[in-house]
Amino acid sequence: MHDVVAALSAVLPPSSLLTDPAGLERYRRDDAEWADSGTPAAVVLAASAEEVAAAVRVAAERGVPVVPRGAGTGLSGGANAIAGCVVVSLERMTAVREVNVEERYAVVEAGVINDDLRRHVAAYGLWYPPDPASQAISTIGGNVATNAGGICCVKYGVTRDYVLGMTVVLADGSIARLGRTTAKGVTGYDLTALMVGSEGTLGIVVDVTVKLRPIGGREERAVIGYFRSLTDAGRAVAAVSAAGIVPSALELIDRMCLHTVAEWQGWRLPENANALLLASVDEVGASGEELAGRVAELFLAAGGADVERATDPEEVARLFLARRLAYPSLERLGPVLTEDVCVPRSAVPEMLARIERIAADADVVIANIAHAGDGNLHPLIIAPEGDEAAKERAKAAFDLIVESCRELGGTVTGEHGVGLLKLPGAAQELSPVVLRMHAAVKHALDPHGILNPGKAFPVPAAPSLP
């Protein structure tokens, strides 16, 4: 530890290096409280790509693990420190370097907050669609590392759909520029797409070139449906999908989340509000009106007890704020173990029913929020602080939810990443051949295994000798 700290001190300014116990503890883990973590040897608060590269070279020469970190808002343990590692934080790298209006792209450093980018490009009449619930606090670099989605992704796509290129610090400290700024380009392997979602295991993203859309040409209309049961709400989701409707958002919030948010914010709710679906369509003019009407009809046919339309922008924003506040409102009740399963849209009703049965059988509290329009469910398992028995039951429920998701043809993570918490589920989902492919790519780019080791995919077992 002393050796790597001394070497870092020799190549970095004092303001870029933390070694005090309080500072090390602050950077020990992300928001996945239930994932393992260790105390790092040092934290590098990098201010440039060159400082990131210098830190990686020091670590590589000594075989010390490097854990990249953005804002630390991850929910799978992807940014959790390993004992004796060097944590490299990108939070100080917050410059928007370029906005090209004609070609519709921006070049931003990895530490730029998602919402800050959106506000910045809006001044140019442009829009960056990926909008994770953590958009007010998560960084673009972290969004790239996990291929973050969000409320708008059902229609407008996830982070990978908007990344044109990036600058990456590799495991030996060299700096690579990947991608393009043109509308098309197929020269060589798509290494940019490979880096998106790799959770810092192949390189450290220090800046990103993102594609933008015009901000105009959209008229938001919301359809709000309250349902007597979670399964009825799930049936409405499946019906919207079966009808071929692609809303700009389709979000689900269950009774517990609704009432927790309402109590926190002082809102009143209908008495029969056991589940809420928030749909939004953004087609212009009569086509938008017709589409919103069809969604309302489908909600009613699926058992919606109170179905309303909203066009006032402030009212629409308030309703979707309830969805964004669901997770922080539940955190006030105790530690939350967050799931991130994604199933086919037609399987949403069955998956929600299974989650309710798992909660009852395991005797745990599970609240539900979901990007229901693309089948991405976030069951939130709550255990009282200090109740170890409840914590064990919560972990068992977590595993059962993953198992049910796989049985229904789903994937164990839709947008949060594998990190540490989803390694067992990833081991079930990825075949031995695919795991060997992962290991081969990792070895090619990080032969000594120093970049965020043990994250993103389970290491395949060595082949047995004959």
Residue 437 within a domain = no
3-state helix, strand, coil in the chain (%, to 5): 40, 20, 40
Residue 150 within a domain = yes
Residue 17 within a domain = yes
Same domain flag for 243 and 344: no
Same domain flag for 165 and 260: no
Same domain flag for 173 and 248: no
Same domain flag for 194 and 113: yes
Residue 413 within a domain = yes
Q: What angle do CA 74, 151, 197 make, to 5 degrees?
A: 40
Residues whose CB falls within 8 Å of the CB of residue 385, separated by 6 or more in sequence, listed in order = 334, 335
Residue 453 within a domain = no
- pLDDT reported for residue 466: 44
Q: Provide the 3-class DSSP secondary structure of residue 198.
A: coil
- Pairing between strand 42-45 and 249-254? unpaired
Bridge partner list, 210: 106, 163
- pLDDT reported for residue 12: 98
The two tokens of residue 424 are: 């067992």
Instruction: Tell me which residue has tokens 């991850």.
Output: 74
State if pTM tops 0.85.
Answer: yes
Question: Among 332, 361, 381, where does a domain finish?
Answer: 332
Same domain flag for 118 and 175: yes
d(CA 105, CA 107): 7
In residues, how long is the chain?
466
Instruction: Tell me which residue has tokens 């958009």.
Output: 135
Segment-wise mean pLDDT, segments of 10 residues, the chain, 466 residues = 91 97 97 93 98 98 98 96 98 98 98 98 97 94 97 95 98 98 95 98 98 92 91 94 95 89 75 85 93 96 89 76 82 85 95 96 94 94 89 94 97 96 95 96 97 94 52
Same domain flag for 118 and 104: yes
Residue 452 within a domain = no
d(CA 70, CA 79): 8
d(CA 202, CA 204): 7
Same domain flag for 77 and 161: no
- pLDDT reported for residue 270: 66
CATH number at residue 235: 3.30.70.2190
Residue 352 within a domain = yes
Residue 274 within a domain = yes
- pLDDT reported for residue 43: 98
Residues whose CB falls within 8 Å of the CB of residue 55, separated by 6 or more in sequence, listed in order = 8, 11, 12, 44, 46, 66, 86, 88
**25, 174, 335, 356 from 29: Cα distances, Å:** 8, 27, 14, 30
Same domain flag for 189 and 207: yes
- pLDDT reported for residue 465: 44
- pLDDT reported for residue 198: 98
Question: Among 73, 89, 105, where does a domain finish?
Answer: 89
Same domain flag for 7 and 55: yes
Question: Among 37, 60, 89, where does a domain finish?
Answer: 89
d(CA 352, CA 234): 7
Residue 416 CB neighbours (<10 A): 27
Same domain flag for 145 and 124: yes
Same domain flag for 147 and 222: no
The boundaries of the domain holding residue 26 are: 2-89
d(CA 80, CA 52): 18
CATH number at residue 172: 3.30.465.10
- Number of separate domains in the chain: 4
- pLDDT reported for residue 264: 80
Same domain flag for 370 and 413: yes
